[in-house]
Amino acid sequence: MMSCEKGYSDNMVSEIRDVIGEVMSVYKESCPNLEVKELVIDPKELAYPVNTPRERTVYSVKAVMSAIVKREDFVVSTTSIKQAKLKEILADESLSDISNLSLLGGRDIKEVIEITEEFKTPLTPIKLDIKDLADVIKELTSDQHLPCSVWYELGLQLGLYDDRLKDIKADYGESVERFRECMSAWLRGEDKVREKGGPSWSSLATALDTIDQKSIASYIRNKYL
């Protein structure tokens, strides 16, 4: 199994994450008695023109999962005393949403590691509400330069109804105003926003991924998840 080092493009990271998930899913369905124990980053297998690790590095899948559950930032390689950031090993993944981790391949994490009483509290996304409007808009537009013109497409992916977005379009002439009203409705949990996970950094990142704003989605995950 292979993960990414710093320097990969967002599309490449996303594709490798999907490949890991597919491999783990097939293994679960076709080879249920086979236990996948290690995540390997091998410089010989990295065919991309980026800086590669100098040596083959192996991480225990159980150790990686345990670190996530315990909310630890680092995991130690089984081949050395080297520590690595979980965010670098599992790039572009939300560590607060365990159920969707590629390494699980659709399995319950309890099938991989034993969850003790101390760590049974689920990792829940950081919820947002209307009081966070200014911060959300600043992060997206001022800091990450998301064009306000994507407000309609983003609103649909966040769970707002088409009729509501049409009303916003009719009531406000500038894209900046429309973007603000769209995000306000999302933060209030209007329409089927709750069905999409509710207002949170996690659901926002997912919506940004869907409208092909992957670099901003990665930024949100790295900063808040």
The DSSP secondary structure of 31-73, one letter per residue, reads -TT----EEEE-GGG--SSS---SS-EEEEHHHHHHHHHTT-S
Tell me: do 26 and 111 sit in the same domain.
yes
Tell me: do 67 and 148 sit in the same domain.
no
Tell me: do 135 and 112 sit in the same domain.
no
Tell me: do 194 and 142 sit in the same domain.
yes
Q: Look at residue 120 and tell me whether its pLDDT is greater than 50.
A: no
At 90, the pLDDT band (50, 70, 90 cuts) reads: confident
Range name among 7-16, 63-72, 94-103 with the lowest pLDDT average: 7-16
Element (H, E) at 85: strand 83-85
Mean pLDDT within 135-142: 95
Which has more pLDDT, 29 or 188? 188
Give the total number of structural domains in the chain.
2
Tell me: do 16 and 110 sit in the same domain.
yes
pTM score: 0.52
Whole-number pLDDT of residue 64: 76
Tell me: do 135 and 99 sit in the same domain.
no
Whole-number pLDDT of residue 78: 67
Give dist(CA 43, CA 97) in Å, integer.
29
Mean pLDDT within 101-114: 65
Longest dimension (CA), the chain: 61
Determine the residue type at 173: G
Read off the CATH number of the domain in which 137 is found: 1.10.533
Tell me: do 59 and 158 sit in the same domain.
no
The first and second tokens of residue 176, run together, are 């900046």
Mean pLDDT within 92-103: 65
Long-range contacts from 25-29, C-beta under 8 angstroms, 24+ separation: 25/105, 25/106, 26/105, 27/105, 28/105, 28/106, 28/107
Among 92, 119, 146, identify where a domain stops.
119
Tell me: do 53 and 154 sit in the same domain.
no
Q: 112: domain range? A: 10-119
